[in-house]
Amino acid sequence: MKQTAKLRPGDLVEVKSPGEILLTLDADGTVGHLPFMPEMIQFCGGQFRVSKRAIKTCSSSKSTSTMRAFPADDVVLLDNLRCSGAAHDGCQKACMIFWRESWLRRIEHRAGESTQGTPDSSAELRAHLKTTAGTSNYFCQASEILRATTHLSQWQRLQKCFADVRAGNCGTMQMLQRIIVWLFWRARRAILGQHARGNQKSTPAGGLNLRPGELVEVKSMDNILETLNESGRNRGLSFTPDMRLLCGRQNRVQKRLEKIIVDGTGEMREVPNTVYLEGAHCGCAHVAFGGCTRQEFSYWREIWLRRA
């Protein structure tokens, strides 16, 4: 059943039962090319708060545009619910899960007991969902992000900034700050070039075999530049402007990263000697106008870190 009003951050919702969700899906298990994934079934019947409306989203693929939008404007994020990757060969990308409003119902009362779906209905829904496309690629929200969204022109990106504020995703001053940050780094690149431009032709690899919970210190910018090529990359992985803000600071390792599914392709790619740091999410506003709500983790090469 379609919502009478769009969901907003803070709204309490219940994920519909597996049987109800099954009725919304096409033959590929999607709504508007956005898949309902097997990892989402565990949340059926659960009650969660809307954290953000997905007004616009980044894509880390090689698309000509990194900022895109869901045409129907009916997608939200819930309570930091991330994909476990359990049904996709253990993908460790930990994407924030996108939720169509047709998969949710607003509830006005306070949070109560979950109404989990019956095992039979869960099994029927799971049997309808696919996790692979072809012989070598995976099928998930990350693989289908380009099909489920549309390109935004510069003017549309500006409009989406106003929409972010109206939807309650952020305040006016917070959005203004994001725009100023983007303008600063755009101007800096135009004048000085790539912010983290190294001179390595073949970038070095280095491993520390870090484990979750270990305390590390991000190396100085000078040390990190020694590991980068002229594009600011180490073996294909960018050292982004927001990451330099953590240079010299200490943080804890959240988990190791070994393999992820690539946006837009479904390819599983190995990511050696790389970790997530606690609370270190992508500083999207530094590279994408107005930022986005996807909240991906930043990827840290171990060669950029030292044990504290």
Over its length of 308 residues, how does the chain's per-residue pLDDT go in tens digits? 444 579 999 999 999 999 999 999 999 999 999 999 999 999 999 999 999 999 999 887 654 447 899 999 999 999 989 999 999 999 999 999 999 999 999 998 655 555 555 556 899 999 999 999 988 899 999 999 999 999 999 899 999 999 999 999 999 999 999 999 999 988 988 888 878 888 999 999 989 999 999 999 999 999 999 999 998 999 989 898 889 889 999 999 999 999 999 999 999 999 999 999 998 888 778 878 888 888 889 999 999 999 98
In a domain, 302, yes or no: no
If one counts every other C-beta atom within 10 angstroms of the C-beta of residue 249, the result is 12
In a domain, 68, yes or no: yes
SS3 300: strand
Count of structural domains within the chain: 1
Q: pLDDT value at position 162?
A: 95
Domain that holds residue 114: 12-153
SS3 58: strand
Q: pLDDT value at position 1?
A: 42
The answer to whether the Cα torsion of 215, 218, 220, 224 is positive or negative is: positive
In a domain, 222, yes or no: no
Name 77's Cβ contacts closer than 8 Å, sequence gap at least 6. Answer: 50, 51, 52, 53, 54, 96, 97, 98, 99, 293, 295
CA distances from 244 to 190, 249, 251, 289 (A): 19, 10, 14, 19
Check if the beta carbon of residue 97 is closer than 8 Å to that of residue 77: yes
What type of residue is 276?
Y
In a domain, 216, yes or no: no
In a domain, 301, yes or no: no
Q: pLDDT value at position 257?
A: 94
In a domain, 132, yes or no: yes
In a domain, 141, yes or no: yes
SS3 103: helix
CA distances from 84 to 127, 236, 298 (A): 19, 25, 17
What phi and psi values does residue 191 have, to the nearest 5 degrees?
A: -90, -45
In a domain, 201, yes or no: no
Q: pLDDT value at position 118?
A: 57
117 class by beta-carbon count within 10 Å (0-12 exposed, 13-18 middle, 19+ buried):
buried
Check if the beta carbon of residue 269 is closer than 8 Å to that of residue 259: yes
